Structure 1
Amino acid sequence: MSNLTNNIDTEKDLISEINKLNEESFELKHSNPKLALEKSRLALENSQKINYQYGIAKSYINIGWINLINGDIESCISYCKNAVEIYSELDNDSGIASGYNILSNAYCTLSQYNLAIKYAFESAKIYEYLKNEKARASVFNNIGNIYEAIGNYKDALEFYFKSLEIKEKFDDKRTIAFTLTNIGLVNISLEDYEKARKYFYMALDIFKSIKNYDSIANILNNIAIISSNEGNPIEAIDKFLEVLKIRQSINDLNGETGVLINLAHNYFLIKNYNKSKECIDKCFENLKKLKNPEFKSRCLVILANIYSKQNNYEDANEAYSEALKISEEIQNDNLKNNVLISLYKFYEEYEEYKKALEIYKLHFELTQKLVNEDIKLKNKNLELSYEINKVNEEIVIKEEEKKKLNKALKKVESLNRKLLDMDRDKNELIGIVAHDMRNPVSTIIMVSRNLMEEFDTISKDELKSDIADINSTSEKMLKLLNNILNLNALETGKVNFNLSEFNIVDITKNSFLGFKTHANIKKIKLHFHSESNTINVNLDIDCYLQVIENLVSNAVKYTPKNRNVFLNIKQSEDKVIISIKDEGEGIKKEDLKKLFNKYQRLSSVPTGGESSNGLGLSIAKSFTEGMGGKISCESEFGKGAEFILEFPVKK
């Protein structure tokens, strides 16, 4: 009997020791993962000896966390799935939720976002049932990370703010600061630098209060990058110097080198080449220990830029060449493209046009490759968004009562329609890029190849003519790309209208008469009339000019030779009305309904062989309405078309 009692007491002591080891392992996982792993393995070994299932599952969870931190994702997934299986047999919901949360992080690291979001929502659902708000806040933050990773910034911000709201109830300073940092980073992606700064400074105050120096350096670095992006290198330098001091104090050689590169770049921008060179020299000294080829390539480009400004052609050329070689060796296309841009400008500055053309061709081809990869990535993210939405709907359907099922299904149908629209837009965009850029690209390649083959014999006038052809063709491509970017900016809400007061009569007249050269080619007469010499409005002048130039360009484009284009301005009470009327064949009734839709190619064709990609009128409508105006079209097929703009008058 006494032996049995001793065995029970020994087992109780061992269980207590196992639980203690697992608790210590959990606390040490970030600060000392090696020691944490040792404690978890010992806890697992002892748990298996006495078949202590809870101890085994908890050890698996801890080992899974540590493997995730160490980057061994496959092992992490294996351990966590084993833990969830044991917790399920034990009916331990908290353990299951913990396992799901780690699995969500692991799959996110593997870019398997559909599985990541599935496990995250399952984990959040269990924590909500258990009323574990702290854990739910952590999961919400992870969901925000997933949405941010696939470029869904709207939903990312929604879950970051949900996480922040819960964390603030518990005054959990450290995790609050990390969530504020995440919100700041999303706003950088959205190019809303004012909001990004606001949240970074909020996080900075907290990190300073808890003396988290690594995070302080990261925040200051982000703020410095914002200043640099905004064209304020002096302000950026001040912040980077603060970051440098911290990185050096905590012996972070990699972080120190990254900051030195940023400092060198910004010193170069303010033409302080000596300071820039000092930073680069220190980088090269650090790189003897770090062996970071990307850093080395970036340093060489800045060094080459300095040599170029100092008229040291040989050393600059050598540095550019070495930077290019490194970027190719590490297969970093973005880095390589940046080197090619600098090298192209370098050769052009030294009037080595043949070499400049060769480099420009490589840059152009690589840019096309990167654009195609970006389109593929956006397509992949679209598919992931669709899968994530399906997962969300499945979870909602499981949790909702039967009477809510129809509502949920309608929401799914709406999402599917939107996704189909997005898929159609994506295909239209690919079609436009493939169709409208093929001929210009072919022209540039043909002319540049001819220049390279006949460079030594070609006359200066012929050289200028060929370069002018390349420039003209490039401008057409740039106009198409700008239209695509403008449309994307409008759809994602990134356009900020800069309103100012101006006389719309003068601005419109100058823009309209600027089409005389194009009109003269087709012997088209331009007629301008305004009832008043001065009508003041409060609009974004650049956006307004884009609208006018698009409409006038179309009027000239679709009007046959020896005809007329009219532009009339009049004021009616508190609004100004601008009419652009042509004498083309007009617009068919069925085309009028889809006139302002994206990517619409109508049945009417330009009369002089001009190109049309179906983007201009959509952008014109978005800009007009964004500035508080209206745009409409009146047309009877066979009798031309009249586009009418209405804007409020400045009182």
Structure 2
Amino acid sequence: MKLILITLFCFFSLIGFSQPTLDSLKNQLKKKTLPDSVKIKLNLDISFYYRNFNLDSMRFYANKARLLGKEIFDKNGELQGTRNIALSYVNEGKYDTSIYILNTVIKEAKSEGESALSNLADAYNSLGKAYFSLALYDSAVLAFQQTSEIFKKLNRPVDVAGSLINLGSILEDKGETVRALDYFKEALLVFEAQKHGYGIATASFNLANIFTDQGDYDKAMLYYKKVAEYDSTAGHSRDFGGSLSSIANLLLNEGDTLNALKTFKRAIHILDSVNASCEMILPINNLGDLYLSLNRMDSSLILLNKALAIAMECEMPKQIVAIRFDLGKYFLKTNELAKAEENLLEAYKTSTDLTLKNEIANSADKLYILYKRKGQTEKALEYIEIARTLDNELFNQENTRKIAQLEAEYQLEKERETFRYEQEKRNLAYQESLSSERKIIYQFIGGTVLLTILLLLILRFYFQKKKINNKLQKTLKAVNEHNNQIQEQNEEISWQAELLSQKSKELEKQSMELTVSNNALAQLNEEKNTIIGIVAHDLKTPLNQIKGLLSLIKMEINNKEAIPDYLDKMEQSANRSINMIDRILDINALEHNTVNIKTEQIELSTLIQEVLDDYTVSTHNKEIELLFEHKEKFEIFSDSLLLREIIDNIISNSIKFSPKQSRITVELKDLPNSYCIAVTDQGPGISKEDQLKMFNKYQQVSANPTGNEKSTGLGLAIVKRYANILNYQIKCISDGKNGTCFIIEIPK
């Protein structure tokens, strides 16, 4: 349903979606008394019916319609037959051939003028689909825009909505999801107003896909249910099975395993009942993977092997990659390493041939685990390097996409606010112009009335000298009445002026609201920059640790017993970095300007020792003695990731500003109301002035690192940020000359 073929709404509106069977259409065509125009229509219907499963038959009947149209001088039938031939080449993947034929149809349809507008629209629509398939998005957009404009001229809202779906699909492929959502929602409103079931299902399907990608599963479920409801009501079993499979995946993402199992089984049963074997691959594979996660090993293996057999029969390489990967996971879990290696290597090779970066990274990661378990260190290192390189590339691409999307949303909202502001200005200017015109009209009417009265007075004075007094009284009365009218008009003008003043105040209020909105958006942009800085800072520590461990590996390359330990530490550092970044970039937390806290039981002395172990290389290079003094173990409940970052940053600062051959002491104490972690160094100390501002972002103290290390000014800001989140106290004791002591107080 990614792209709607507009002719479904144009030339087959009489068939709708209670489309007669293929046999019924052919039986009608056999009748000898049929007019040629009806034969053309039936041949076109049969041709379109074959579009998804027999392209040779599609071309055969389309050509019959074309030749018959040419014979009886029915230009519409001839053009539509040619267009259907081109469409068959689009569906076959022969895009250059289809584009050549479609441009010929467009040229001839234009020469026919208004009588061939429908043919012209259909040709542009098929041309857009061909360009879309070639990833020529700009050309596809132009073609679909032409389609939309023609359908507007023909007053066919359903077909206009179909063009909106196509435009939204292109924008979605380009990553412009905000604009794509607007097109899909606009199309859905039109389809709902027209009570067009297939259109509602198509728009809902596209909306569900976007919300699924964004992780908004509630909205995605709402739209998938609309699709499933239509497919079920219309009797489209294949599509209904696919919709149920999508719903099952959403249920699985939401943690509803039981209903996900039931829905997968129902989807497979429905697809099996209509012999839709190729469509069964995805739900069978997903169900097998789900059984694997539930340790139902026999059921998992049966389903995964079945999915693989069908995928190979249907020649679907992407599905084969996914199934081979799941089989590799299965055999790793059952410790059948030879079979695991066979399947994972097949998944890796095929995904490499298809340039599927996610799948390459996943396969390489599992191959690393496999070869590590087999003791083949060199191969394990080769694949973990591939996996990490691709993970970093994909991570950077995803972050770039998210930032671009935030900027697009900001720009779109800014444009909307500007449009509303300009609209209000135009309305106000119109009211002012209207008021001015009314004043001129009133003045003209008043002048005309006065002139008329004066003329009447002169005439009456000339013809009725004897009745001057009576006429004068009547004239004075008329003048008084006119003055009353003028007074009423003046009151009306005053009322209009008051309204204008109120409008001006409303505009001023709206301008203030716009200023507040812009300030809020600026604050959001500043928070985005802060988060980027924190991500960059938090990446440095584990990367430096990994760099140090790599140096040790080079130094001890012949000490094979030590290398696995170093590699494990490198993996731990990488995992901590990934977990921390995932936490910082959590979308729900970002929207509330917070970091999600994940509380767990922690043994403080063990956590501190792990942090100190990470700085073995750094302290060795600077000949610093790092002491840890504690008498017993203390269990607390806290967020280990955030607490580790606090301790890590303080230790890192102490090492950075300590001179060579000095000592850093870490003490863990049990106080009456709290646990205290004190880190004392013999560095230059922190002045009272620096202590007042050292927790600010990008603030650097006056002292310099002793080993030419770089300082971003973010470390202590991160410490303070995470301490506030955990409700811990951070204290600094220093006279600015002889060392510094940082104290972390953890409430009991």
TM-score, L = length of structure 2: 0.58
Q: How far is 1:166 from its partner?
A: 0.9
Q: Is the 8 A contact 2:357 2:390 kept in 1?
A: no
Structure 1 residue aligned with 2:108: 86
Q: Is the 8 A contact 2:241 2:270 kept in 1?
A: yes
Structure 1 residue aligned with 2:382: 361
Counterpart-to-counterpart distance in 2, 1:513 and 1:356: 29
1:441-460 equivalences in 2 (<5 Å): 454=558, 458=559, 460=561
Structure 1 residue aligned with 2:65: 43
Per-residue CA distance 1:258-291 (angstroms, 9 max, x = gap): 4333222222211111212222443455467445
Counterpart-to-counterpart distance in 2, 1:16 and 1:291: 40
Q: 1:261 to 1:54 in 2, by over 3 A?
A: closer
Per-residue CA distance 1:238-262 (angstroms, 9 max, x = gap): 2222222122222223233443332
Q: How far is 1:190 from its partner?
A: 0.9
Structure 1 residue aligned with 2:164: 140
Q: How far is 1:15 from its partner?
A: 6.6
Structure 2 residue aligned with 1:470: 567
Q: Is the 8 A contact 2:534 2:714 kept in 1?
A: no
- 2:206 is the counterpart of 1:182: yes
Per-residue CA distance 1:404-457 (angstroms, 9 max, x = gap): 9xxxxxxxxxxxx9xx99xx9999999999999986676666666788x63xxx
Q: Which residue of 246, 255, 268 corresponds with 1:222?
A: 246
Q: Is the 8 A contact 1:237 1:263 kept in 2?
A: yes
Question: SS in structure 1 opposite 2:382?
Answer: helix
Structure 1 residue aligned with 2:98: 76
Greater shift, 165-174 or 357-366, is seen at 357-366
1:525-544 equivalences in 2 (<5 Å): none
Q: Is the 8 A contact 1:440 1:477 kept in 2?
A: no
Q: How far is 1:193 from its partner?
A: 2.0
Query: Paired residues, what number?
Result: 574
Q: 1:35 to 1:299 in 2, by over 3 A?
A: closer
Q: How far is 1:139 from its partner?
A: 1.5
Counterpart-to-counterpart distance in 2, 1:154 and 1:512: 49
Q: How far is 1:342 from its partner?
A: 2.8
Structure 1 residue aligned with 2:393: 372
1:156-171 equivalences in 2 (<5 Å): 156-171=180-195
Q: How far is 1:174 from its partner?
A: 2.1
Counterpart-to-counterpart distance in 1, 2:321 and 2:541: 35
Q: Is the 8 A contact 2:535 2:584 kept in 1?
A: no
Counterpart-to-counterpart distance in 1, 2:382 and 2:149: 54
Counterpart-to-counterpart distance in 1, 2:530 and 2:147: 35
Question: SS in structure 2 opposite 1:178?
Answer: helix
Q: 1:344 to 1:29 in 2, by over 3 A?
A: closer
Per-residue CA distance 1:497-524 (angstroms, 9 max, x = gap): 798999xxx99x9999977997997899
- 2:193 is the counterpart of 1:193: no
- 2:127 is the counterpart of 1:106: no
Structure 2 residue aligned with 1:155: 179
Q: How far is 1:84 from its partner?
A: 2.9
Question: SS in structure 1 opposite 2:247?
Answer: helix
Q: Which residue of 133, 139, 151 corresponds with 1:115?
A: 139
Counterpart-to-counterpart distance in 2, 1:608 and 1:478: 30
- 2:58 is the counterpart of 1:62: no
Q: How far is 1:130 from its partner?
A: 4.2
Question: SS in structure 2 opposite 1:108?
Answer: helix
Q: Is the 8 A contact 1:213 1:246 kept in 2?
A: yes
Question: SS in structure 2 opposite 1:111?
Answer: coil
Structure 2 residue aligned with 1:205: 229
1:178-577 equivalences in 2 (<5 Å): 178-231=202-255, 233-283=257-307, 285-286=309-310, 289-290=313-314, 292=316, 295-296=319-320, 298-317=322-341, 320=344, 324=348, 332-349=356-373, 352-353=374-375, 355-356=376-377, 358-369=379-390, 371-372=392-393, 375=396, 454=558, 458=559, 460=561, 463=562, 466-482=563-579, 485=582, 488-490=585-587, 557-558=652-653, 560-561=657-658
Q: How far is 1:368 from its partner?
A: 0.7
Question: SS in structure 1 opposite 2:87?
Answer: helix
Q: Is the 8 A contact 1:208 1:216 kept in 2?
A: yes
Greater shift, 336-345 or 25-34, is seen at 25-34
Question: SS in structure 2 opposite 1:144?
Answer: helix
Counterpart-to-counterpart distance in 1, 2:718 and 2:101: 53
Question: SS in structure 1 opposite 2:235?
Answer: coil
Q: Which consecutive unaligned segments of at least 5 residues does structure 1 have?
A: 1-12, 405-416, 526-540, 566-581, 630-637, 643-651
Q: How far is 1:168 from its partner?
A: 0.9
Q: Which amino acid aligns with 2:383?
A: L
Counterpart-to-counterpart distance in 2, 1:605 and 1:103: 67
Per-residue CA distance 1:598-625 (angstroms, 9 max, x = gap): xx79798984767767888999999999
Counterpart-to-counterpart distance in 2, 1:386 and 1:15: 55
Structure 1 residue aligned with 2:196: 172
Q: How far is 1:72 from its partner?
A: 2.6
Q: 1:606 to 1:511 in 2, by over 3 A?
A: farther
Question: SS in structure 2 opposite 1:175?
Answer: helix
Counterpart-to-counterpart distance in 1, 2:371 and 2:610: 34
Question: SS in structure 2 opposite 1:191?
Answer: coil
Percent identity, aligned pairs only? 17
Q: 1:603 to 1:44 in 2, by over 3 A?
A: farther
Q: Is the 8 A contact 2:534 2:718 kept in 1?
A: no
Q: How far is 1:134 from its partner?
A: 0.4
Q: How far is 1:138 from its partner?
A: 1.0
TM-score, L = length of structure 1: 0.65
Counterpart-to-counterpart distance in 2, 1:56 and 1:603: 81
Counterpart-to-counterpart distance in 1, 2:108 and 2:714: 57
Structure 2 residue aligned with 1:635: none
Q: Is the 8 A contact 2:646 2:722 kept in 1?
A: no
Q: Is the 8 A contact 1:233 1:267 kept in 2?
A: no
Q: 1:439 to 1:197 in 2, by over 3 A?
A: same
Determine which structure has more spread, i.e. the larger CA radius of gyration.
Answer: 2
Q: Which amino acid aligns with 2:379?
A: E
Q: Is the 8 A contact 2:51 2:88 kept in 1?
A: yes
Greater shift, 131-140 or 147-156, is seen at 147-156
Q: Is the 8 A contact 1:214 1:247 kept in 2?
A: yes
Counterpart-to-counterpart distance in 2, 1:612 and 1:263: 51
Counterpart-to-counterpart distance in 1, 2:129 and 2:72: 31
Q: Which amino acid aligns with 1:79?
A: I
Structure 1 residue aligned with 2:155: 131
